[in-house]
Amino acid sequence: MVESGGEGSAPASRSSPADNALAHYHLGFAQGMIGDKRAEVREYQRAAALGLRDWDLFLNLGLAQLENGDLDAATESLRKSVCLGEEHPESHFNLALVDERRGMLADAEYETLVSLRLNREQPDARNLLGVIYAQEGKTRRVEAHRSKPSKIVRGDSKP
Protein backbone atom coordinates (compact mmCIF):
# COMPACT_ATOMS: atom_id res chain seq x y z
CA MET A 1 0.00 0.00 0.00
CA VAL A 2 1.31 3.45 -0.88
CA GLU A 3 0.46 6.38 1.33
CA SER A 4 1.01 9.90 0.08
CA GLY A 5 1.66 13.02 2.09
CA GLY A 6 -0.14 15.16 -0.48
CA GLU A 7 0.08 16.24 -4.08
CA GLY A 8 3.57 16.00 -5.53
CA SER A 9 5.10 14.42 -2.46
CA ALA A 10 6.96 11.11 -2.36
CA PRO A 11 5.18 8.03 -1.00
CA ALA A 12 5.39 7.78 2.77
CA SER A 13 5.89 4.00 2.75
CA ARG A 14 6.09 1.10 0.33
CA SER A 15 6.24 -2.60 0.74
CA SER A 16 9.79 -3.70 -0.03
CA PRO A 17 10.32 -6.57 -2.51
CA ALA A 18 12.72 -7.96 0.09
CA ASP A 19 9.70 -8.50 2.36
CA ASN A 20 7.38 -9.82 -0.33
CA ALA A 21 7.39 -13.63 -0.42
CA LEU A 22 5.40 -13.78 -3.63
CA ALA A 23 7.88 -11.48 -5.37
CA HIS A 24 10.70 -13.86 -4.42
CA TYR A 25 8.68 -16.80 -5.72
CA HIS A 26 8.27 -15.08 -9.09
CA LEU A 27 11.93 -14.05 -9.13
CA GLY A 28 12.85 -17.67 -8.51
CA PHE A 29 10.69 -18.80 -11.40
CA ALA A 30 12.28 -16.18 -13.66
CA GLN A 31 15.79 -17.22 -12.59
CA GLY A 32 14.94 -20.80 -13.45
CA MET A 33 13.64 -19.80 -16.87
CA ILE A 34 16.98 -18.16 -17.70
CA GLY A 35 18.88 -21.17 -16.40
CA ASP A 36 20.31 -19.84 -13.14
CA LYS A 37 19.28 -22.77 -10.93
CA ARG A 38 21.23 -21.61 -7.87
CA ALA A 39 19.54 -18.21 -7.92
CA GLU A 40 16.22 -19.97 -8.50
CA VAL A 41 16.71 -22.09 -5.37
CA ARG A 42 17.83 -19.06 -3.37
CA GLU A 43 14.73 -17.04 -4.31
CA TYR A 44 12.36 -19.94 -3.58
CA GLN A 45 14.04 -20.39 -0.20
CA ARG A 46 13.58 -16.67 0.54
CA ALA A 47 9.90 -16.95 -0.36
CA ALA A 48 9.54 -19.89 2.04
CA ALA A 49 11.47 -18.06 4.78
CA LEU A 50 9.08 -15.14 4.40
CA GLY A 51 6.12 -17.42 4.98
CA LEU A 52 4.88 -18.52 1.56
CA ARG A 53 3.39 -22.00 2.01
CA ASP A 54 2.04 -23.14 -1.36
CA TRP A 55 2.46 -26.64 -2.72
CA ASP A 56 3.76 -25.30 -6.02
CA LEU A 57 6.51 -23.28 -4.31
CA PHE A 58 7.88 -26.45 -2.76
CA LEU A 59 7.34 -28.41 -5.98
CA ASN A 60 9.40 -25.89 -7.95
CA LEU A 61 12.00 -25.65 -5.20
CA GLY A 62 12.33 -29.43 -5.12
CA LEU A 63 12.68 -29.65 -8.89
CA ALA A 64 15.38 -26.95 -8.90
CA GLN A 65 17.21 -28.74 -6.08
CA LEU A 66 16.96 -31.99 -8.03
CA GLU A 67 18.44 -30.31 -11.10
CA ASN A 68 21.28 -29.07 -8.88
CA GLY A 69 21.89 -32.64 -7.72
CA ASP A 70 20.79 -32.11 -4.10
CA LEU A 71 18.60 -35.17 -3.60
CA ASP A 72 18.25 -34.71 0.16
CA ALA A 73 16.97 -31.14 -0.14
CA ALA A 74 14.76 -32.11 -3.11
CA THR A 75 13.21 -34.91 -1.07
CA GLU A 76 12.44 -32.55 1.82
CA SER A 77 10.91 -29.91 -0.46
CA LEU A 78 8.85 -32.41 -2.44
CA ARG A 79 7.53 -33.97 0.77
CA LYS A 80 6.34 -30.50 1.80
CA SER A 81 4.73 -30.12 -1.62
CA VAL A 82 2.87 -33.41 -1.13
CA CYS A 83 1.73 -32.39 2.36
CA LEU A 84 0.46 -29.01 1.16
CA GLY A 85 -1.04 -30.24 -2.10
CA GLU A 86 -1.82 -33.89 -1.67
CA GLU A 87 -4.49 -33.70 -4.38
CA HIS A 88 -1.92 -32.66 -7.01
CA PRO A 89 -0.49 -35.67 -8.88
CA GLU A 90 2.64 -33.81 -9.98
CA SER A 91 3.82 -33.49 -6.36
CA HIS A 92 3.51 -37.24 -5.82
CA PHE A 93 5.08 -38.08 -9.18
CA ASN A 94 8.13 -35.89 -8.66
CA LEU A 95 8.65 -37.21 -5.13
CA ALA A 96 8.46 -40.71 -6.63
CA LEU A 97 11.18 -39.77 -9.14
CA VAL A 98 13.50 -38.63 -6.37
CA ASP A 99 12.69 -41.69 -4.23
CA GLU A 100 13.49 -43.95 -7.20
CA ARG A 101 16.82 -42.20 -7.76
CA ARG A 102 17.66 -42.66 -4.10
CA GLY A 103 16.83 -46.36 -4.27
CA MET A 104 13.79 -46.01 -2.02
CA LEU A 105 11.70 -48.19 -4.28
CA ALA A 106 8.81 -48.95 -1.92
CA ASP A 107 8.30 -45.21 -1.32
CA ALA A 108 8.66 -44.50 -5.04
CA GLU A 109 6.06 -47.16 -5.85
CA TYR A 110 3.63 -45.76 -3.30
CA GLU A 111 3.94 -42.16 -4.53
CA THR A 112 3.64 -43.25 -8.17
CA LEU A 113 0.46 -45.17 -7.40
CA VAL A 114 -1.00 -42.18 -5.56
CA SER A 115 -0.13 -39.98 -8.53
CA LEU A 116 -1.85 -42.40 -10.89
CA ARG A 117 -4.95 -42.54 -8.69
CA LEU A 118 -5.19 -38.78 -8.95
CA ASN A 119 -4.61 -38.76 -12.71
CA ARG A 120 -4.68 -42.09 -14.55
CA GLU A 121 -3.57 -40.48 -17.81
CA GLN A 122 0.08 -39.90 -16.93
CA PRO A 123 2.37 -41.78 -19.31
CA ASP A 124 5.49 -40.74 -17.38
CA ALA A 125 4.05 -42.11 -14.14
CA ARG A 126 3.10 -45.38 -15.87
CA ASN A 127 6.63 -45.67 -17.24
CA LEU A 128 8.14 -44.96 -13.83
CA LEU A 129 5.93 -47.61 -12.24
CA GLY A 130 7.21 -50.15 -14.79
CA VAL A 131 10.82 -49.17 -14.02
CA ILE A 132 10.21 -49.50 -10.27
CA TYR A 133 8.56 -52.91 -10.67
CA ALA A 134 11.42 -54.11 -12.85
CA GLN A 135 13.99 -52.92 -10.28
CA GLU A 136 12.07 -54.64 -7.50
CA GLY A 137 11.97 -57.86 -9.50
CA LYS A 138 8.19 -57.82 -9.69
CA THR A 139 8.09 -59.20 -13.21
CA ARG A 140 4.45 -60.26 -12.96
CA ARG A 141 3.47 -56.73 -12.03
CA VAL A 142 5.54 -55.36 -14.92
CA GLU A 143 3.61 -57.58 -17.32
CA ALA A 144 0.27 -56.70 -15.70
CA HIS A 145 1.22 -53.05 -15.84
CA ARG A 146 1.90 -53.30 -19.56
CA SER A 147 -1.26 -55.20 -20.41
CA LYS A 148 -3.79 -53.80 -17.91
CA PRO A 149 -2.40 -50.75 -16.10
CA SER A 150 -5.72 -49.79 -14.52
CA LYS A 151 -5.75 -52.95 -12.37
CA ILE A 152 -2.51 -51.95 -10.70
CA VAL A 153 -3.78 -48.64 -9.36
CA ARG A 154 -6.94 -50.04 -7.77
CA GLY A 155 -7.06 -51.11 -4.15
CA ASP A 156 -4.60 -50.33 -1.41
CA SER A 157 -1.48 -48.77 -2.92
CA LYS A 158 0.63 -48.98 0.23
CA PRO A 159 3.75 -51.09 -0.24
Write the CATH number for 95. Answer: 1.25.40
CA geometry: angle 104, 105, 106, nearest 5 deg? 100
Give the total number of structural domains in the chain: 2
Q: Which domain, by its residues, includes 104?
A: 87-159
In terms of domains, do 152 and 92 share one?
Answer: yes
Q: Is residue 31 part of a domain?
A: yes
In this predicted structure, what is the pLDDT of residue 138? 83
CATH number at residue 67: 1.25.40.10
In terms of domains, do 48 and 111 share one?
Answer: no
Q: Please, are residues 125 and 115 in contact by the beta-carbon 8 Å criterion?
A: yes
Model pTM? 0.77
Give the whole-angstrom CA distance, residue 67 versus residue 8. 49
In terms of domains, do 72 and 102 share one?
Answer: no
Query: What tens-digit pLDDT sequence spans the chain (159 residues)?
Result: 334 444 444 444 445 555 799 999 999 999 999 999 999 999 999 999 999 999 999 999 999 999 999 999 999 999 999 999 999 999 999 999 999 999 999 999 999 999 999 999 899 999 999 999 999 888 766 666 555 444 444 334 443
